[in-house]
Each structure stands twice: as structure tokens, then as C-alpha cells.
Amino acid sequence: MILEGKKAVWKDYQKEIAEDKYYYVRSCVRQNFFPGSETAFLKIMREELNKDVYEHPCHTSCTGIGYHSDIVPVETTMTVVARQFALMTEAGYENLMPSCITSFGLYTEILDTWHHFPEVEEKVRRQLKKATGREFKKPKNLAHSSDVIFKFRKEIGAKAKYKLINKETGEPLKVVDHIGCHYAKMFPSKGVGGAEYPYVLTGMIEEWGGQIIDYPERRHCCGFGFRQYLVQANRGFSVACSKEKFESMKPFKPDMIITNCPGCPMFLDRWQYVINEMEGKRYGQNGEGIPVFTYEEVAGLVLGYDPWELGLQMHQTDCEPVLNKIGTDYSPEDKYNLDISPSYSKKHNLINV
Amino acid sequence: MGKHVVVIGGGVAGLEVAGQLSKVGIEVSLIEKDSNTGGHLNKWYKLFPDRRKSSEVMEYLNGITVNKGINLMTDTSIEMFNRKRDHFSIVTSGGKELIADAVIVATGFDLFKSARKEEYGYGIYDNVITSADLEEMFRKGEISLTNNTIPEKIGIIHCVGSRDEKVGNFYCSKLCCVTAVKQAIEIREFLPESKVFCFYMDMRMGGALYEELYREAQEQWGVSFIRGKVSEASETIDNQLLIKVEDTLAGRPLKMKLDLLVLMAGMEMSEGGKKIAGIGGLRTGENRFFAATDNHFGSNKSDIEGVFYAGTCTAPMNITETISHARAAAIEVIDYLKCSN
Amino acid sequence: MGKLYDLLLEDIRFEEGLNACMNCGVCTAICPAAEFYIYDPRKIVDDVQTKDDEKITELLMSETIWYCGECMSCKTRCPRGNAPGLIIMALRSLSQDLGYFTESEKGRQQLALKRTVGHWMITYGYCLYLEGVGTSMHPEQGPVWDWIQDNWKEVFKKMGANYQGDGPGILRRIPEEAMDEIREIFKVTGGMKRFENIEEFSKKKAKELNMKLDDGIENEYFQHIYKTNNGSHTR
Amino acid sequence: MDKFGFTISTGRQIDYESNDRRIAEYIFEREPSFRLCIECGGCSATCTTGNFTDFSLRELNILIKRGENEQVREKLNKCMLCGKCTLVCPRGVNTRNIVVLAKKAFQKSDEYAI
């Protein structure tokens, strides 16, 4: 592997990411499976980085999962997305920052379609007006929330309490990055680092002390495939995809997996449990699984947030091996203790600052 | 006649056209940006279809430069280029002004920069090389991997940078298929224990003796041909390359581990040619090569009277075609100079 | 000849997704679905570009158009700028419009998706709304999911959620006015029509198969389409 | 299966490294024209069986070369050995003999002779 070659590719894919004043839209999957990640994200943005992040109470799902399950027609999806734009316009924001990769991909795709087919945009404007009376401006800047954390990775690194380094050996943790398919595969120029060697998570890991490892199935889909997971009869395909990835990364002995898509960490986490149940196979070291994290969780850990406030107890595959390696100060016995009241949730989640 | 012609580019086409013009007593200034003439040919080991040594062709071409009436200027490029009524004023990088009655553009091609096909990992994965790198190995007489071991399984990917709108090249470079076949045979000659696989979309064996060479590769050298465009390569923990392709004629995806991957880089309009097009106001086509006035009987003519094209600056060509095209350019120039008398 | 092709052309994704295919197979080579299912996106694109009504009808009734996971890896690589994934989406839409989807085991699953994801979307404004969706439908979620389901409200409170609350935040209750807008959009743009279509053709199919299909998910037909895999899709 | 309601799918890629190509090697040695196929499909087009079933001689040739032996074995007996294919082949491949040799090779491999 020649790092210089990758650096040359990364240089070709610099994307513009807004500096401040973000309009945040949430992710259906993240909310249900990794709610702590979105909470931590807002805390980092607002408290650590002093950014203006606005969330509109009336925004909804973009319909992405329904759209990619093909039960929602493209025009419906475009109009729901147009409504999101309208809410943003009305709130006086122009930098759209979705939490979800499917949404990010969908917004990117729709803006591209409208660019090439202005008549489609006009039709959507008419339909939105008819259905809701709303009008909209298109976002000036569209960046996924992982792009924004990437942008401020150095600022986060400067405040870090922990590094992604094995405190016993002094060696950097070996990290596998997994990028959501819709981040850059459809429009490589819209992703930091492009589609083939995405830099968005690699940049964070490098900055926070870890070492990214490349492995043959790095670009492979986690296997969600929308209908391929959502319907039980199809899940054999879904799990097979993740298994392909685990088999491929195993020889590299990764300490952890970091992801930027809401769904992927859930699948990479749960499928390890299923494969172990079905075949008695584990892919981590010492007979353990490979801990899987969202990038918000990793940022939170680096900043010294409590693992149980980050929601790491909502993972099926234990995250403790990583906590122990980097030396997180945490209380193992409180993992499932729900009586301890959250230290920051009220302040940072419910109110738009 | 006392005429002076400037030839831009000292590769195969430039040398040949200069030689032909000097033969009939026309004074030629041959301008070459590198310190040697011969262009890409310098890097090649043997040539298709008969696998003669490229040095033999080089010998013929270098012989031309000593012709009477050829003023060879190496390490020189063109900075300005204007038509002034009945002649051209050309300013070189050395600041010298040349006055010419006609100009021949023979700026040739550049090999496609294979790193642009990111998914094949050229410049990133250790043992991914281009057809040009392989020729270099042939010239050194040694095919080896970065860890100095000998490869056993070698894959050749056709159409790298050709027939691919992802890199903006819709056209076929037309010589890569036969180059792949030639190189596959040569690998087998060098490494009799090796296995060679060519991954192609179509085998475009449209030149004299090409198909015969293809047959020889199958029959005598046991080269395998698999129809499918390789989707990606990645590096395994033992430094092998895992490739993914559809074996389209079996209708099944196929994965294979290789020790060495060779990319058949296509041909593109040269950077030098683009520069000349810019300063000379010469028209280029959608494929970015120079656009001739007529595809059938004006392939040497530009839109500017007195400016002609020779060789691969207009389209991918093999050496035979390049030499023919250069000779045709000489005839056009001689004709033009006669008429302008 | 070409009538169905013309219908496909009305889908903007089809126009974006199909130039001329040269059968290089780069899509199939990288396709996760082709790796596991007996599936070849190259072949589908090639069949579609013949414009042959008979071939397209066969596709619309087939299992094969339902294997794609819409990861769009194919779009990254196609040297002709095609996106087989988008072509598949257009085929799936047309299959549902014409009611052909119930002719295949995988196609029939659209009702399951409509009654889960679709239902959540127009009821709550989220594509996923998993309170109460226990491990019976999702055994792969593991013991942690049991714990989360058993302690749903407390877990979400601890995670800083605004569960069913007013204002912004995680799993907030989206105001009824906002939901009215979403439902109106579905009405105006054909989303409701798609839902009705899926229901209507599924009911017809259930009758044909002599299976019970009531509302919701606790009925014979739903459970059948959600769980049945006849094993012919993979090797 | 019982607990989860599905099993983990297995891949259907041709896995070049794990396939056994001894059947192909056996044929290469005895029928050198096997190497010459350019997969034009002339044989399949003229093949009587191919015109009535989904049997494809062209595909069979490839599957043998890739070592997809299970599939080859299954398809092999569909050939009626009429030899019409050899009349049309532009590369002079003795397709009929390839089928004959493949059958022999399977027989031998069943007897553990190759």
C-alpha cells in the first residue's frame, strides 16, 4: 500500500462544507437505534464548537427507506424533500445537514435531477404549493453531519481527553472504516475523498490517534438493501453481505469499526451476534466480537463523554474492549442502569439554541 | 524551392514527415520538447504484431535526423504561433523566432494516466502496473514484484481509460487489445511457469496479423481470455490483488487473486498538443484530439491553411499507420507549398 | 412493441439510468445482490434496452427485479454512465402500477413494506417507528433489543430523546398539522395511489391463494409474504 | 433457521482459487483446440439441443475452463454428440471431442484416476 497515492486521490475530492448555521434533519434509523449519537452530536456542535444548529419540530422523514423499498413514488419523495427545504427556507437557514446517509444521498440525487431536468423541479414546486402552500429555496450547502465532524476533527482532537491508542502498548488502534453506500457511490464528487478511498472517517481516525486499515471488501455494502433486510424472508442476503466483510477484515485484526451511516453500525453490530448464534464464529480478538461505533460515538469517547450516555449499551456486540484499550473512565456496573439521570440531554436536545 | 517547414514533435510521425520533406529539398526545423527524439517508442521493448525489437524502428527513425536540411532542436517547446499573411511566426521556448512557410503538428499522444481509474489502485496498491511499466520490466529483462519475488498469476485489464465516460473518453484506443496480447505472450516467454489472464470487453483485433497473434496467444501460450470489465481491485493481507469481474459469457460474477495486475492504458491527446491547440487556435474534437477537416480525404489538414497534422495527435494509430499518415502529410505539404508559390 | 418501454421512459430515473449498455458486466461484478442471488443486472439492462414488450412484461412479473438492494454501487462504475439500480427502481414502480408485482414471491413482499414502513411514514412521519416492534419480527436484534423494548421510555429518556413530546428532538411527536401536510403530499403526488394499488392487488392475490388478509400484520397473507422463502433465489 | 427465520446465503461467484480445474487440464492435454475458442457462440446457435433447451455449448466450454464442475456434470449429458458444432466453428475447435473427453474425465475422477 502506497499512502502517497491515496493522498493524491484525497486531494482531488475536497468538498465545500459550511462553517456555521446548520439546519439539522434527523435520521429515522439513528433515532431508533442510536439516539445517543444524535444527542452527542448536538452537544459537540453546540457546546464544544459553539455552532448554530437549528432543528425544526415539524420536519419529517425524507421517506428514504420507503422510497428505496419502492413503496413511495419518486414524485412523492421529491415533494416531501421539497417540504424539508421549505421549512429550512422559512427558518432562515441555507446549510442543510442531514444526519442520515440515505437522506444525504437522496437530497444529492434530487438536486442533481432538478439540475438536469428543471421541468421536474417546477412540477415539484407546483405540487408542494398545492399540497401545503409552501415555497422553498434550494440549500446553498449540503453536507452530511459526518462531513461537518470531519471539518472540525482538529478542533475536537484539540479538546480530546483520550486518544485512539492502546494505552498499554502505546500502539494506535486498528480501525476499519465503513462508509454508507449512498454517501459517495452515486456522486463521488459529493463525498470527502470520493467514492473509492473515502477520507471522511479516515481523517477523523488519523486525527484522533488511530490507524485506518484497508481490506479487500472495504467498499462492500453492509447488506441492508432496504427490502432485503426489512422483510424477514430476505435477511439471509443481508447477513451474508456483512459476513463477507467480517471474513475479509478478520486477518487484519481490527480493534473496532467506525461508520458514518445510521443503518450500517446496527447491521454490523447485530449480524455479528447472529453469525455467532448460527455458526459459532466471532471476528474480534480473544473470542470477542469487533465493536462497532458511529462516528458521533467515537467523537464522544475521544472527548471523554460517558459511554452509557452515548448509548453504547444499546449495542449488541460489547464495546468494552475498546473502552478498556483507550482507558476510558467508566463504570461497568452502570451499563444497564437507567436510574442515573442524563447530564446533558435536557439542556441540549429539546431546545433550539 | 527554398521553403522552410516547422515540424512540432519529434516522435515517429514528426521524424518521418521531416525525413520525407528533407528528401525533396525542403528545409525542416524539427522541434522536440524532450532531449531525445522517438517519443514513446524509446520506452517500448518489442512491437506488435511481429514482435520485432523497437530499437530496429528507432534505428531507422534516428537515421532521419542526420538528413541534410533537418535542423533538430531538442529540449525545445513552442511558446507562440501566429499566421502572418503567407507565413508563420513561431517563437520557441529559447526565445528564438522561426519563420515558416508551413507547420506540421505531430505532437503525438500521452498514455492515459491510470491513477485516474481509482478503483484499480494504480499508485496505491504495490503490484498494479501499466503496460508502459511492463515494457520497462521487459527492457530490464526482469519481471518482479515489489518484494522482488516472481509473479505467478498475472492479470491484464483492457480498456483502462478507453471506452469509458467516467474518465471522459468515449473512444476506443484500438491498440491496447493487441498490446495486451503481445505482452501476455511476452510474460509467458519470460515466465514459463506463469498464468496470464486477459480481461476484455471486446477483442478488437483489427490490424494486419493481430488476430493471428491472438490465436497464437491462446494456442501456444495458453493465455486465458475472460470477457468482462474488471470492477475493482483491492489488496489482500498477503499483498495479492483481489479482483472482481463478471465472467459475462458464463453469466456469473468471478473473483480471482492475482500477483500482478497490468493496466492497458489508453491513448489521449497529449498535453503538448493541447497547448498547441490553445496557442494556435486549432480545433479539437469531442475526443480532444485535433480535428481534421475531413475524415476521409482531409485527415492531415487543419482548418488553418498551411497547418497540417501527422500521426496520433489526430487519433490513436499504430506505428505503421503513423508512418503512413506522416508520409501523407508530407505530400499535402509539398502540394500546398507548390500551390502557394 | 415498445409500449412498456415508453411507460418506463415516463419515469425520470429511467431516463437518467439508461444510455446504451455494452454488456461489459462491470455492474454485475460489483453488485452485492449478484453475489448471492441468481441475479445479473447486466442482463436486465440488456433485456430492457431491446424495448421488447414481451421481455419487459416477463421482467415485471419476475423475481429477478426484486433482488437489488439499491446500494447504487453499479452507478459508480458503469463506463456508459448507466445506473442499473435506477432502471430497477423504474421497473419496480411500473410492476406495482400494473399489478404485476404479486406474480412473484419477492414482489408480493411490497405489501409487507407498505404495511410497516409505509404505515409508519404516514402515521408518525418516520419510516421506522419501532416501539413495540419486538424480537418476534426481528429476532436478529438480539437480547439487547428485548432490554430496549422492555425499557423503551426510560432508555430513550436517558438518551436525551424527546419521546412523543412537543418541539424538536429524537422521536418527538410530529404535530398533526405537519402530518396532514405529509398525507396531502402523498395524495397529490401519487403516493396514496401507490399504497392503494399495493393493497388492492395484494387482496386479489390473497383471495387467489385462498389466504386470509385482514388489516395490519397479524394475518395469514402478511405473515406468509413476510416469512416465506422458497429457496429458489440463491444457489 | 428456526430462531431467526432465515439462513445465511452463500455466494455464487466463481471463486477461481477454490475451483478444481483438473477436468479442464485433462481436456487441454488431449484436445489442444480447446484453447482456441473465442466464445462466438456459433456452436450453440447450430446445436439441436440448444435450440430446444437452455443448453449452451459455448457456456459449457467456459464452465469447464473455470472448474465449475458441478454444473458441467449436470449439463454434459444433454449433448447428443451429433457433431454439428464442429462444422461451424470458425476456430476449428473440436467441441464434440471436448464433451467426450469431459465425460471420460468425470468417469476417471469418480474412479479417483485423475
- Output the DSSP codes for D3-45: TTS-------SEEGGGS--HHHHHHHHH-GGGGG-----HHHH
Q: In the prediction, which pLDDT does A352 show?
A: 47
Asked if C90 and C134 sit in the same domain, the reply is no
Distance CA C119, CA C117 (A): 5
Q: In the prediction, which pLDDT does A124 show?
A: 98
Distance CA B47, CA B61 (A): 15
**CATH classification code of B4-108+270-339:** 3.50.50.60
Nearest residue in A to B121, CA atom = A5
Q: In the prediction, which pLDDT does B314 show?
A: 98
Q: Give the minimum alpha-carbon distance from D80 to chain B in angstroms, rounded to a whole number.
A: 22
Q: Cβ–Cβ contacts within 10 Å for residue A19, how many?
A: 12
Q: What is the pTM of this model?
A: 0.95
User: CB within 8 A of C170, min separation 6: which ones?
Assistant: A26, A31, A35, A38, A39, A349, C156, C159, C160, C161, C162, C163
> Cβ-count burial of B208 within 10 angstroms (0-12 exposed, 13-18 middle, 19+ buried)?
exposed
CB nearest to C36's CB, from D3, D4, D12: D12
Asked if C138 and C204 sit in the same domain, the reply is yes
The answer to whether the CB atoms of C159 and A342 lie below 8 A apart is: yes
Average pLDDT of span C5-11: 96
> Mutation test of the interface with chain A: which of C70, C104, C228, choosing the one with the most A Cβ atoms within 10 A?
C70
Q: In the prediction, which pLDDT does B307 show?
A: 97
Asked if C116 and C56 sit in the same domain, the reply is no
The answer to whether the CB atoms of A230 and C160 lie below 8 A apart is: no
Supply A112's cell numbers. 442533481
> Where along chain D do its domains lie?
19-110
- Tens digit of pLDDT for each residue in A172-216? 999 999 999 999 999 999 999 999 999 999 999 999 999 999 999
> Where along chain B do its domains lie?
4-108+270-339, 114-266
The answer to whether the CB atoms of B123 and A1 lie below 8 A apart is: no
- Tens digit of pLDDT for each residue in A247-302? 999 999 999 999 999 999 999 999 999 999 999 999 999 999 999 999 999 999 99
| pLDDT of A343 strictly over 60 | no
CB nearest to C174's CB, from A58, A105, A313: A58
Please check whether the domain covering B114-266 is classified as CATH 3.50.50.60: yes
CB nearest to A5's CB, from B115, B234, B242: B115
Distance CA A262, CA A246 (A): 19
Average pLDDT of span C115-130: 97
Crossing angle for the helix pair D57-66 and D22-30, to the nearest 10 degrees? 110
CB A58 within 8 A of CB C174: yes
Q: Considering the domain boundaries, does residue C46 fall inside one?
A: yes
Q: Which residue has the cell 475447435?
A: D93
Which chain C residues contact residue B159 at CB under 8 A?
79
Nearest residue in B to A196, CA atom = B119
- Tens digit of pLDDT for each residue in A302-314? 999 999 999 999 9
Which chain B residues contact residue D25 at CB under 8 A?
none
Any idea what the CATH number is for the domain that residue C88 is in? 1.10.1060.10
Last-in-domain residue among C98, C114, C148: C98
- CATH, domain A16-145, list 1.20.1050.140, 3.40.50.300, 1.10.3720.10, 1.10.150.130: 1.20.1050.140
Q: In the prediction, which pLDDT does A346 show?
A: 46
CB nearest to B244's CB, from C29, C78, C80: C29
> Cβ-count burial of B251 within 10 angstroms (0-12 exposed, 13-18 middle, 19+ buried)?
middle
H helices then E strands: how many in chain B?
Answer: 7, 20
Picking from B226, A143, B91, the residue whose alpha carbon sits closest to that of residue D63 is: B226
Distance CA B331, CA B297 (A): 13
Q: In the prediction, which pLDDT does A342 show?
A: 56
The answer to whether the CB atoms of B126 and A6 lie below 8 A apart is: no
Nearest residue in B to D71, CA atom = B250
The answer to whether the CB atoms of B234 and A215 lie below 8 A apart is: yes
Give the total number of structural domains in chain C: 2
The answer to whether the CB atoms of B246 and C77 lie below 8 A apart is: no
Asked if C129 and C145 sit in the same domain, the reply is yes
Distance CA D114, CA A342 (A): 70
Which positions 51-110 of D are in contact with B (Cβ < 8 Å)?
58-59, 62-63, 65-66, 68, 91
Class at the top of the CATH hierarchy for domain D19-110: mainly alpha
Picking from A16, A39, A141, the residue whose alpha carbon sits closest to that of residue A85 is: A141
Element (H, E) at B12: helix B12-23
Same fold, A16-145 and A146-328: no
Residue A19 DSSP symbol? S
Supply B116's cell numbers. 485516474
Distance CA A322, CA A290 (A): 9
Instruction: Determine the structural domain holding residue C159 and report its residue range.
Output: 106-227
- Tens digit of pLDDT for each residue in A43-88? 999 999 999 999 999 999 999 999 999 999 999 999 999 999 999 9
| pLDDT of C1 strictly over 80 | no
CB A328 within 8 A of CB A301: yes
Sign of the torsion formed by the C-alpha atoms of A48, A51, A55 and A56:
positive
Same fold, B4-108+270-339 and B114-266: yes
Q: What average pLDDT is seen over chain C?
A: 96
Q: In the prediction, which pLDDT does B66 show?
A: 84
| pLDDT of A344 strictly over 70 | no
Chains adjacent to D (≥3 CB pairs closer than 8 angstroms) = A, B, C
Class at the top of the CATH hierarchy for domain A146-328: alpha beta
| pLDDT of A30 strictly over 80 | yes
Q: Give the minimum alpha-carbon distance from D40 to chain B in angstroms, rounded to a whole number.
A: 10
Asked if C121 and C201 sit in the same domain, the reply is yes
Distance CA C71, CA A225 (A): 7
Beta-carbon contacts below 8 Å between C and D: 21
Least confident of A339-348, C26-35, C181-190, D8-17: A339-348
* Residue D113: band (very low, low, confident or very high) from pLDDT cuts 50, 70, 90: low
Q: In the prediction, which pLDDT does B256 show?
A: 97
Chains adjacent to C (≥3 CB pairs closer than 8 angstroms) = A, B, D
Q: Give yes or no for C12 touching A (CB within 8 A).
A: yes
- Tens digit of pLDDT for each residue in C222-231? 999 999 999 9
Q: In the prediction, which pLDDT does A341 show?
A: 60
Last-in-domain residue among C64, C98, C132: C98
| Concatenated DSSP letters of B227-252 | ES---EEEE-TTS-EEEEEEETTTTE
* Residue A350: band (very low, low, confident or very high) from pLDDT cuts 50, 70, 90: very low
CB nearest to B244's CB, from C23, C30, C79: C30
Q: How many residues in total does chain C contain?
A: 235
D47 three-class SS: coil
> Mutation test of the interface with chain B: which of A196, A218, A221, choosing the one with the most B Cβ atoms within 10 A?
A196
- CA B253 distance to own-chain centroid: 32
Q: In the prediction, which pLDDT does C132 show?
A: 87
| pLDDT of C26 strictly over 70 | yes
Stretches in chain B below the pLDDT threshold 70: 1, 341
Picking from C234, C23, A221, the residue whose alpha carbon sits closest to that of residue B246 is: C23
Q: In the prediction, which pLDDT does D109 show?
A: 84
Q: What is the bridge-based pairing of β-strands B109-111 and B267-269?
A: antiparallel
Q: Give yes or no for B118 touching C (CB within 8 A).
A: no
CB nearest to B165's CB, from C25, C42, C80: C80
Distance CA A42, CA A51 (A): 9
CB nearest to D8's CB, from A232, A233, A240: A240
Distance CA A165, CA A160 (A): 12
CB B180 within 8 A of CB B198: yes
Question: What is each CA distance from A227 to B12, C68, D99, in whole angstroms?
Answer: 59, 9, 43
Supply B19's cell numbers. 525525413
User: CB within 8 A of A225, min separation 6: which ones?
Assistant: A234, A237, A238, A241, C32, C33, C68, C69, C70, C71
Distance CA C158, CA C181 (A): 31
Q: Give yes or no for C143 touching D (CB within 8 A).
A: no
Q: Give the minimum alpha-carbon distance from B203 to chain D in angstroms, rounded to a whole number.
A: 9
Asked if C57 and C166 sit in the same domain, the reply is no
Name which residue leads in pLDDT, A139 or B83.
A139
B91 three-class SS: strand
Q: In the prediction, which pLDDT does B341 show?
A: 60
Which chain C residues contact residue B247 at CB under 8 A?
25
Q: What is the bridge-based pairing of β-strands A256-259 and A174-178?
A: parallel
Picking from D89, D95, D102, the residue whose alpha carbon sits closest to that of residue D24 is: D102
The answer to whether the CB atoms of A2 and B124 lie below 8 A apart is: yes
Q: What whole-number percentage of chain D has pLDDT above 70? A: 96
Supply C192's cell numbers. 396514496
Nearest residue in C to A233, CA atom = C227
Q: Give yes or no for A352 touching C (CB within 8 A).
A: yes
Which chain D residues contact residue B247 at CB under 8 A?
14, 62, 66
> Where along chain A do its domains lie?
16-145, 146-328
| Concatenated DSSP letters of A280-297 | ----SGGG----EEEHHH
B72 three-class SS: strand
CB nearest to A232's CB, from D6, D9, D11: D6
